[in-house]
Amino acid sequence: MSKSKSQQIAEKTIYAAFKILKEAGGEMRGKDVVDKIRETTVFDEYESHRYEKTGYIRWESIMHFYTIDCMKAGFLRKNKGIWILTEEGEKAIKLGPEKLLTTATKLYREWEGKRKKETVEADIEDFNEEDSSQVQKSIISQYEDEAFNGIRNYIISKNAYEFQDLVAALLRAMGYYISEIAQRGPDGGIDIIAYTDPLGTRQPRIIVQVKHRPNDSVSSDEVQKLAGTLKRNTDVGIFVTSGNFSKPAIKEARESREHIELIDFNRFTSLWQEYYIKMDDEQKNLLPLHPIYFLGSND
């Protein structure tokens, strides 16, 4: 049976995505994966066609459609815009482009508990009713990636002191009282001091270190330095970064005698969304969000 054009595109792009993720150590922002495929793969006019309904590129939509198969097959995970290649997914690369895709689709069908058509229509806009749920999931996945990247780019555009203000606003929304915010210049490793009551008479005292480095990982040495600023036995340290934490840094915080809480970019944005409703207008305007609700599923 001859392959549809959609299947050919899916084989090429899914396999490329898996290889890119493997070379990156298993994790990468979905947007960066797509950009890398665009840079390294040749697409013809049909594959590069932009859909009028969604505004998306054909090959990107088809790839997102088939990532649902890969996720249900256990080859791939997505979390807040990050694509994660699983151990099973890394092994699946050895199958080659064609068998990787057919295996993922087969496993998805088994998971779904029903048969889908053996071939897919050439145009993702024309998938049959049986595929409509998966089309919806793939489109929502693209919207989620775009939304997350929009938030990330907005935060990246802020300077270090503006990001520090974002962190202070989040803490206030969470019910903490800000005693001090560091001004420009040396801060001794302390950017924000907060308490659980207005006068700071109740424990703990919360010492916050903020690093605005979106493309870097916080090292274990930096976590150690934060621990060194906790002078009271009841002090709690919070390290907030617009990037992420290295594995040694996470291990250092976990094993530290002091209580060190780590908040990376993903956790920061999750907390901002969770406490957004409790913010006043001034706080919301620091990072304004607009919620949109889609029909979900029971999968």
Residues 46 and 144 in one domain: yes
Rounded to an integer, what is the distance from CA 232 to the centroid of its chain?
A: 35
Q: Which of 156, 188, 203 is the last residue of a domain?
A: 156
- pLDDT computed for residue 140 by the predictor: 73
The residue among 72, 96, 98, 107 whose CA lies nearest residue 86 is 72
Residues 18 and 151 in one domain: yes
Residues 198 and 276 in one domain: yes
Residues 22 and 141 in one domain: yes
Give the range of the structural domain holding residue 208, as residue numbers without chain letter.
Answer: 160-284
Is 298 among the domain residues?
Answer: no
Residues 21 and 145 in one domain: yes
Is 80 among the domain residues?
Answer: yes
Is 228 among the domain residues?
Answer: yes
Give the Cα separation of 194 and 176 in Å (integer): 6
Length of the chain: 299
Give ∠ CA 138-216-22 in degrees, rounded to 5: 50
- pLDDT computed for residue 133 by the predictor: 67
Is 219 among the domain residues?
Answer: yes
Residues 93 and 175 in one domain: no
- pLDDT computed for residue 52 by the predictor: 81
Q: Which of 133, 156, 179 is the last residue of a domain?
A: 156
Write the DSSP symbol of residue 2: P
Radius of gyration over alpha carbons of the chain, in Å? Answer: 23
Q: Give me the CATH number covering residue 173.
A: 3.40.1350.10
Is 291 among the domain residues?
Answer: no
Residues 44 and 117 in one domain: yes
Residues 230 and 97 in one domain: no
**Number of domains making up the chain:** 2
Residues 59 and 151 in one domain: yes
Residues 142 and 23 in one domain: yes
Q: What is the DSSP string of 138-204?
A: HHHHHHHHHHHHHHHHHHHTS-HHHHHHHHHHHHHHTT-EEEEE--SS--TT-SEEEESSTTS-SSP
Residue 19 parent element (H or E): helix 5-23
Rounded to an integer, what is the distance from CA 170 to the centroid of its chain?
A: 19
Residues 143 and 169 in one domain: no
- pLDDT computed for residue 203 by the predictor: 92
Distant-in-sequence, close-in-space partners of 72: CB < 8 Å, separation ≥ 6 = 104, 107, 108, 111, 112
Are the C-beta atoms of 258 and 234 separated by less than 8 Å?
Answer: no
Is 126 among the domain residues?
Answer: yes
- pLDDT computed for residue 112 by the predictor: 66
Is 296 among the domain residues?
Answer: no
Q: Which of 92, 122, 156 is the last residue of a domain?
A: 156
Residues 132 and 180 in one domain: no
- pLDDT computed for residue 145 by the predictor: 79
The residue among 212, 266, 206, 278 whose CA lies nearest residue 29 is 266
Are the C-beta atoms of 13 and 59 separated by less than 8 Å?
Answer: yes
Return per-residue pLDDT of the chain as tens, 299 residues. Answer: 567 898 999 999 999 999 999 999 999 989 899 999 999 999 999 999 998 877 889 999 999 989 989 998 999 998 878 899 999 999 999 999 999 999 998 888 876 664 444 434 444 444 544 456 666 677 777 777 788 888 999 999 999 999 999 999 999 999 999 999 987 666 567 999 999 999 999 999 999 999 999 999 999 999 999 999 999 999 999 999 999 999 999 999 999 999 999 999 999 999 999 999 999 999 999 999 988 777 666 66
Is 299 among the domain residues?
Answer: no
